[in-house]
Structure 1
Amino acid sequence: MIEVNELHKSFGDTHVLKGVSTCFDQGKTNLIIGQSGSGKTVFLKCLLGLFTPEEGTISYSGQIYADLTSREQRDLRQEMGMVFQGSALFDSMTVEENVMFPMEMFTKTAKSDMQDRANEVLQRVNLVDAHKKFPSEISGGMQKRVAIARAIVMNPKYLFCDEPNSGLDPKTAILIDNLIQEITEEFNITTVINTHDMNSVMEIGEKIVFLKQGHKEWEGTKREIFKTDNKAVTDFVYSSELFKKVRQMYIEERN
């Protein structure tokens, strides 16, 4: 579990996060949503330890990050997996080498054992016969699965995903969503996903935090978001005709 209490983050005179408090549950897919400029990316980078907030605390399984020593913070970061928006694979490395990279950086594992582990996680994300290929030789959806395999290769307690469906067609995006949710449940990971994709909200939004201009405007589940009367949320969610129709279905069910 990750607990956030009264988080504030500024850059010069720009106050980006304004007292955000929430918690992200273990074994669930927790989504951060909001319009561009709402503070989603800054919030995610604070959770990753890349930005230091001026006020407030972030706790990981009861440990306040700011209270840890530099070594303890480094050890905690090794328990975090990250799926970047553009996959961020190394073009000069094969799929297998990309997945092995965190183990080579942070462990003294024998190469044969690293290869075995890479093969294990590649199989888990349904990638076979791609080990020796380079990122340019596989599709965008396959690249995203390689990125997920690399993120989980060190058995993280926490998994962070920044716009994991960016650039993917709708069918592939759903497959990636489902894969992330399956892995979250299977390994009991605390997963936090930064997204603007309302299809992801409908598919895997077990916990949703909606940010607006640096404030936590609303939080709830994927079913609750279709029942809320919060205007900021409804304006964001129902900006398309499809979701207006979905909301009407929920209203009719409630009545």
Structure 2
Amino acid sequence: MIKVENLHKSFDDLDVLKGISTTFEKGQTNLIIGQSGSGKTVFLKCMLGLFTPEEGYICFGSESYEELTPKKRRELRKQIGMVFQGGALFDSMTVEENVMFPLRMFAKATKSEMLDRVNEVLKRVNLTNANHKFPSEISGGMQKRVSIARAIVNRPKYLFCDEPNSGLDPRTATVIDNLIQEITHEFEITTVINTHDMNSVFEIGEKIVYLEGGHLAWEGNKDLIHKTNNKTVTDFVYSSNLFRKVRVAQQKGY
């Protein structure tokens, strides 16, 4: 679980986060949505420890990040997996080497043990025959699955995903969504996803946080978001003609 309380973050005279409080439970997919400039990326980077808030605190489990010693922060970092927007794979490394990279950094294991773990997670993301391929030799969807495998190879308690469906076609994006949700449930991970993809919201939005102008304007789940009368939320979520038609059909009971 991650608990955020009264989080404030500014840059010079610009207030970006303005008192955000929420909780992300383990074993479920927690989505952060909102317009560009709403504070989503800054919020995510605060939880990752890349930005230090001026006020408020972030608790991982029962421990406040701000109160952790440098040693405990390093230990916490080992428990965090990250799926980057562009995949962020090392072009000069094979799939196997990319996935093994966190193990080389953090794990105290033999080469054989690390390879066994790499093969285990590659099998979990359905990439059993890709070990010796380079990122340039595989599709964008496969690259995202490699990124997910790398993120979970150290058995993290917390998984952060920044626009994991960026650049993918709708069918592949759904595969990635489902994979992230399956892994979240299977390993009881606290997963936080920063996304613009409304398909993701409706498919895997077990907890949805909507930010507007640095404030938490709404929170709920994919079922409640269909029923909310919060105009700011509905204008954003149903901004496309397709989703507006879907909502009208739902309201009419089709």
Q: CA deviation at 1:248?
A: 1.5
Unaligned runs of 5+ residues in structure 1 are: none
**Residues 107 and 154 in structure 2, CA contact (< 8 A), matched pair in contact too:** no
Q: Letter of the aligned partner of 1:110 in structure 2?
A: T
Query: Alpha-carbon deviations, 1:190-243, whole Å to 9, x = none?
Result: 000000000000110000000001000000000111111111101101111111
What do residues 17-75 of structure 1 show as CA deviations (whole Å, max 9, x unaligned)?
Answer: 00000000100000000000000000000011111100001001111110110110111
CA contact 2:99–2:147 (8 Å) conserved in 1:
yes
Q: CA deviation at 1:145?
A: 0.2
Aligned mates of 2:4, 2:246 — CA distance in 1:
31
Q: CA deviation at 1:12?
A: 0.5
**Structure 1, residues 83-137: CA drift from partner, whole Å, max 9, x if none?**
0000000000000000000010112311111111000000000112100000000
Give the secondary structure class of the aligned counterpart of 1:51. coil
Whether contact under 8 Å (1:227, 1:247) holds in the other structure is: no
Distance 1:8 1:151 in 2: 28
SS at match of 1:15: strand
2:208 corresponding residue in structure 1: 208
Q: Distance in 2 between matches of 1:237 and 1:54?
A: 31
Tell me which residue corresponds to 1:98.
98
Tell me the CA shift for residue 252 of structure 1.
2.3
Task: Report the equivalent of 2:66.
Answer: 66
CA distance in 2, matches of 1:242, 1:178: 22
Could you state the TM-score of these two structures normalised by the residue count of structure 1?
Answer: 0.98
Residue type of the partner of 2:203?
Answer: E
For 1:23-172, what aligned pairs fall within 5 Å after superposition? 23-172=23-172
Residue in 2 that maps onto 1:173: 173
Opposite residue 24 of structure 1, the aligned amino acid is F
Conserved 8 A contact 1:207-1:221: yes
**Contact 1:58–1:64 under 8 Å retained in 2:** yes
- Distance in 1, Cα, partners of 2:78 & 2:108: 14
C-alpha displacement of 1:245: 1.6
For 1:238 and 1:172, locate their aligned partners in 2 and report how far apart those are by CA, in whole Å.
22
Aligned residue for 2:248? 248
Structure 2 residue matching 1:223: 3-state secondary structure: helix
Q: CA deviation at 1:144?
A: 0.2
TM-score with structure 2 setting the length: 0.98
Report the counterpart of residue 229 of structure 2 in structure 1. 229
Aligned length: 254
Structure 1 CA distance, aligned partners of 2:59 and 2:108? 29
Contact 1:32–1:40, Cα closer than 8 Å, also in 2: yes
C-alpha separation in 2, matches of 1:50 and 1:81: 14
Show structure 2 runs of 5+ residues with no match.
none
Write the letter of the residue equivalent to 1:188. E
- Contact in 2 for aligned 1:156/1:189 (Cα 8 Å): yes
Query: Hey, what does 1:197 align to over in structure 2?
Result: 197
- Equivalent position SS for 2:216: strand
After superposition, the CA RMSD in angstroms is 0.9
CA distance in 1, matches of 2:45, 2:131: 31
Greater alpha carbon shift after TM alignment, 245-254 vs 174-183? 245-254
Distance across 1 between alignment mates of 2:95 and 2:223:
38
